[in-house]
Amino acid sequence: MSIAVLLGSTRSGGNTEQLVDQVVEGINHSKFVLHEKNIQTIVDQRHVPEGFQPVQDEYDELIQRVLEHDILIFATPVYWYGVSSPLKTFIDRWSQSLRSTDYNFKELISQKKAYIVAVGGDDPHIKALPLIQQLKLTFDFVGLPLEGYIIGKGSKPGDILADSRALLNAKWLNEQLKEQRA
């Protein structure tokens, strides 16, 4: 089983990255730092005769690399009760992938397993739930099973390391992922 981490944080080494690093500690994985990628926002061309036109950015290469993995971990801070803009932009581009004639995106992504790691600073176990639901509905639309999620509490860099509940959940998920790889 190969694992891809889709890191939606815009702060290098921040709480979200620290927590997801706990999840994949000691496990071979690929980490895609979305804010470092040139991914243009979607231009909705679903209903124009020509359909979606090619976009000169890194999305097509990135989605191909992501689809090579069996487990996808979507890691994001909670921004205004939703996912970060780099992760949202990446997912928005799935509309283009769904209409690609080069591959069957829905078939390929439905063969993966998804996990969510989210970190927020203000009562995240309640206020991150819309984010979890947003991603769950998105995953349902493309047939991607959501296997579980971890919500952590942190605002200032390093706060997550004081969230014993999140760290315990990360350790548990780490063990689960190691068992799946065995």
The dihedral over CA atoms of 93, 15, 68, 66, expressed in degrees to the nearest 10, equals: 20
Q: Mean pLDDT lowest for which of 52-61, 62-71, 101-110?
A: 52-61
The answer to whether 60 touches 94, Cβ cutoff 8 Å, is no
Q: What is the pLDDT of residue 73?
A: 98
Q: How many CA atoms lie within 13 A of 24 on its CB side?
A: 24
Mean pLDDT of the chain: 95
pLDDT 10s digits, 61-103: 999 999 999 999 999 999 999 999 999 999 999 999 999 989 9
pTM here is 0.96
DSSP type of residue 81: T
DSSP type of residue 79: B
pLDDT 10s digits, 141-158: 999 999 999 999 999 999
**What does the block give as tokens for 23?**
């999840």
Q: Mean pLDDT lowest for which of 32-41, 45-54, 130-139?
A: 45-54
Whether the per-residue pLDDT at 39 is higher than 80: the answer is: yes
Residue corresponding to tokens 């493309």: 142
Q: What is the pLDDT of residue 130?
A: 96
The domains found in the chain, sorted by start residue, are 3-180 (3.40.50.360)
Question: Which has the closest alpha carbon to 58: 40, 35, 72?
Answer: 40
